[in-house]
Amino acid sequence: MNKSISASKSVETATEQLGRRNFFKKTAAYSVSALAAASVIAPVKVKAEDDPAIMEEQPWAVKWGQPVTYNLYGQPSAYESNVTRRTTELLSSGNMRASIAVTPLQDLSGIITPNGLFFNRHHGGTPDIDPNEHRLMIHGLVEKPLVLTMDQLKRYPNVSRIHFIECPANGGPEWRNPQFPSVQFAKGFMSCAEWTGVYIKDILKDLGLKPDAKWMLAEGGDSSHMGRTVPIDKVLDDAMIVWGQNGEALRPEQGYPIRLLVPGWEGNLCVKWLARLEFASEPYYCKEETAKYTALRKDGKAIQHFYANEVNSVITSPCPEKPWTDLKKGDTVEIEGLAWSGMGTIEGVDISLDGGKNWVEASLKGLVLNRAWTRFSFIHKYDGKPLFLSSRARDDAGYVQPSVKQERDAVGVEGVYHRNGWCSHMGN
């Protein structure tokens, strides 16, 4: 390691550097905890003189860095290379073209999922679509059916909205028991982004919806041609066709050049690579799909089909990927997580430290938005006892997360979809 100050450095920088060294010499055994007595930083004793990271020039500080022409489309630091989507054959029967890669919730901050980490679920692989050759056909029960190029579509005045997309199978593998020592696999079938596009109700002002139109079929232009029907009330409320994802074009995995966004409802309705919208008086009927998306109750009767993802929450710190291994009695720690509801806005989140016996109110931090992830936080002074953490969210539609036990009693354990019960990290 080259520890000398390089010749290219200005005199000022060299002087500052000396001043910094002297400061640390004077304060000798400097302790972070002493400076941050009232904060939540776990105490770390640092003797500055013995720490080369403080006292010596690092190799990156004594030579030129990369020019602006390097990496013209930016990438995360190489030191973050383990922060990726992940998948397992257990979720796909081995066919990675009809599979899912899940979001690393444990590595995210705030409520926005970076585009490269947005979960990715498809049934026929990610197509490589030339936007100049892609068309959107809108027809059926409209006065003026039409076909739009991408340029024509983007002439509609656009809106940007922050919403999560959640596969209704999120958490589904754990109906019976915990399966994954991983928050990424247990709850990462979802992500949240800022989407830009146009409300379908605004396009319909031009096209003229006929009064007997009760359903909208959306069909994808990928090899799976995935089709889903959406009730007209939801279409006219907040359904969008989007082309922007966190400030740039949709990623190919998210449906480039356009996808349907049905805020808060089952992710499968958000048809990617959107090619066709057809308005009809009857729902597009496919027996197999209807059966697939209907959960059975204990008595064997089917639960009626439902669309919205119910109020839910997950603790992301601590988590199996990032456990608190060096926690000591008296340490102050921040318990953090995400809450969301497909029916409205998160009103509050309770935390239990003892597996659901007692509850305390967490605080909501940052933006609290309709049908978006909401980050919650609870500052805890650790008392040395084992922590059995649970979170329980409630929304402004009046729903409170049930316990896993309540949910199992109502639905049984054979479900796959819409699992939103809370449990402690011990899985009960």
Nearer to ligand MTE among residue 190 and residue 411 (C-beta): 190
User: How far is 171 from 310, CA to CA, in rounded Å?
Assistant: 12
Task: Find the part of the chain contacting Mo ion (CB under 5 A) among 116-124, 274-282, 391-399, 406-414.
Answer: 116-124
Among residues 106, 246, 268, 341, the one that binds ligand MTE under rule CB under 6 A: 268
**238 to 267, contacts with ligand MTE by CB under 6 A?**
253-254, 267
Nearer to ligand MTE among residue 120 and residue 158 (C-beta): 120
- Cβ atoms 83, 107 nearer than 8 A: yes
Q: How many residues bind ligand MTE (CB under 6 A)?
A: 20
Count other Cβ atoms within 10 Å, centred on residue 212. 11
Among residues 167, 315, 351, 364, the one that binds ligand MTE under rule CB under 6 A: 167
Using rule CB under 6 A, residue 272 touches ligand MTE: yes
| Per-residue burial over 379-407, b = 16 or more CB atoms within 10 Å of its CB, e = otherwise | ebebeeeebbbbbbbbbeeebebbbbeeb
> DSSP for 240-288?
EEEEEETTEEPPGGGTTT-EEE-TTBBGGGS-SSEEEEEEESS----HH
* CA distances (Å), origin 303, targets 247, 283, 306, 399: 39, 18, 8, 18
**Structure-token match 């060294």, residue found:** 21
Among Mo ion, ligand MTE, none, the one that 418 touches (CB under a kind-dependent 5 to 8 A) is: none
CB of 272 to ligand MTE, least distance (A): 4
- Cβ atoms 374, 368 nearer than 8 A: yes
| Per-residue burial over 288-305, b = 16 or more CB atoms within 10 Å of its CB, e = otherwise | eeeeebebeeeeeeebee
> How deeply is 324 buried, as exposed, middle or buried, from its count of CB atoms within 10 A (0-12, 13-18, 19+)?
middle
The one-letter amino acid at 226 = M
Q: Name the residue with the smallest CB distance to ligand MTE.
A: 220
End-to-end Cα, the chain, rounded Å: 52
**118 to 137, contacts with ligand MTE by CB under 6 A?**
118-123
Nearer to ligand MTE among residue 262 and residue 319 (C-beta): 262
Q: Is 310 left (phi over 0), alpha (psi -120 to 50) or beta?
A: beta
Instruction: Give the contact letters, 202-221, x = binds to ligand MTE (CB under 6 A), - = no.
Output: ------------------x-
CB of 197 to ligand MTE, least distance (A): 14
Count other Cβ atoms within 10 Å, centred on residue 51. 12
Among ligand MTE, Mo ion, none, the one that 370 touches (CB under a kind-dependent 5 to 8 A) is: none
CB of 82 to ligand MTE, least distance (A): 21
In terms of Cα–Cα distance, which of 177, 167, 182, 188 is closest to 423? 177
Among ligand MTE, Mo ion, none, the one that 224 touches (CB under a kind-dependent 5 to 8 A) is: ligand MTE
Tally the residues of the chain: 428
Among Mo ion, ligand MTE, none, the one that 380 touches (CB under a kind-dependent 5 to 8 A) is: none
Instruction: Give the contact letters, 117-136, x = binds to Mo ion (CB under 5 A), - = no.
Output: ----x---------------
In terms of Cα–Cα distance, which of 317, 389, 402 is closest to 360? 389
- Cβ atoms 221, 273 nearer than 8 A: yes
Nearer to ligand MTE among residue 203 and residue 226 (C-beta): 226
Using rule CB under 6 A, residue 154 touches ligand MTE: no
Q: Name the residue with the smallest CB distance to Mo ion.
A: 167
Nearer to ligand MTE among residue 50 and residue 128 (C-beta): 128
Nearer to Mo ion among residue 96 and residue 367 (C-beta): 96
Residues 316, 322, 325, CA angle at the centre, nearest 5°? 125
Among residues 113, 182, 268, 401, the one that binds Mo ion under rule CB under 5 A: 268
User: How far is 90 from 79, CA to CA, in rounded Å?
Assistant: 29
CB of 195 to ligand MTE, least distance (A): 11
> DSSP for 19-32?
HHHHHHHHT-S-BH
Nearer to ligand MTE among residue 263 and residue 267 (C-beta): 267
Nearer to ligand MTE among residue 230 and residue 270 (C-beta): 270
Among Mo ion, ligand MTE, none, the one that 229 touches (CB under a kind-dependent 5 to 8 A) is: none
Among residues 142, 167, 239, 260, the one that binds Mo ion under rule CB under 5 A: 167
Binding interface with ligand MTE (CB under 6 A): 118-123, 165, 167, 220, 222, 224, 226, 253-254, 267-268, 270-273
Binding interface with Mo ion (CB under 5 A): 121, 167, 267-268
